[in-house]
Amino acid sequence: MNRPLVIGNWKMNLDFVEAVHLTQQISVLLKNQPSAHTDVVVAPPFVDLRSVASVLEAERSNVALAAQHVNPHEAGAHTGEVSQAMLARLGVTWVLVGHSERRTHYAMDDAVVAATLSTVVRSGANAVLCVGEDESARDDGEYASVVSAQLASALAGLEEKSRALVTVAYEPIWAIGTGRSAAPEQIHEMATVLRRELTALGCGEARVLYGGSVTGENAAAILVEGGVDGFLVGGASLKSDSFVAIIRACDDCYAGLANRR
């Protein structure tokens, strides 16, 4: 098992005052009981990034900063968009790429996902490539082929030296924000498929995360039985207690597995 990674995706929630409060609460909880084994990242809305970065710096926190999206172009006539260089100046070291909400609601197709992924890793930042099937693909038994196609299209053109910066998040769309997490055995099946494909694409070291209605209660079972390296968390990342509970579950599982080795 790789070192676990937990990323909180705040989506379009929390203004900068609320974001500062949540960041302070997470920092205090992790200062009182540091996470020994788990890497932690938060992905606030763009307008909160500067404030959250200041709190993390003031608290000397190990929590890293992610953006939820970036435009693949360098600069210019892209009203409403933000560039990778702008994010880097703010201390953003992670970027979510191709979240299903961007693919579904903002016309982010596979070509734009691939271009965005390439922009992020060429800059030296870490990319979290989000893949996952919708409910009809799951019902039709097409889930593995849908997800494999998303993966291949995003990774095919990547330079070898950038591949170490890729993390993959398996997020079945039907499990996101529904309270209906995928079962550990479904996650295990997809993690196995993803690892096989990643190896074939030259990204065999990439961490594989799961996202979709993860909570402090189901995190341990998913981590151990699902065979993933951590989580991309939406709803449960908006409260410090539930977010830190997921981090603690990862820490405990990793320590337990390490002791058994």
Residues listed for the chain? 261
Residue 188 annotated to the active site? no
Q: Rule CB under 6 A: say whether 230 interacts with ligand PEP.
A: no
Measured CA to CA in angstroms, residue 228 lies from 5, 82, 100, 163, 174 at distances of: 10, 31, 19, 19, 19
If the CB atoms of residues 162 and 211 are measured against ligand PEP, the closer one turns out to be: 211
Residue from 211, 216, 226, 230 touching ligand PEP (CB under 6 A): that is 211
Give the span between the Cα atoms of 198 and 164, in whole angstroms.
Answer: 11
Q: Rule CB under 6 A: say whether 176 interacts with ligand PEP.
A: yes
How many residues line the site for ligand PEP (CB under 6 A)? 13
**Nearest position to ligand PEP, beta carbon:** 234
Q: Rule CB under 6 A: say whether 213 interacts with ligand PEP.
A: yes
Q: How many CB atoms lie within 10 A of CB 152?
A: 14
Catalytic residue, from 69, 99, 188, 197: name it. Answer: 99
Longest dimension (CA), the chain: 55
Q: Rule CB under 6 A: say whether 108 interacts with ligand PEP.
A: no
**Paired tokens of 61:** 């926190």
Nearby residues of 111 by Cβ (< 8 Å), 6 or more positions away: 153
Q: Rule CB under 6 A: say whether 219 interacts with ligand PEP.
A: no
Residue from 44, 72, 212, 216 touching ligand PEP (CB under 6 A): that is 212
Residue 171 annotated to the active site? yes
Catalytic residue positions, numbered: 99, 171
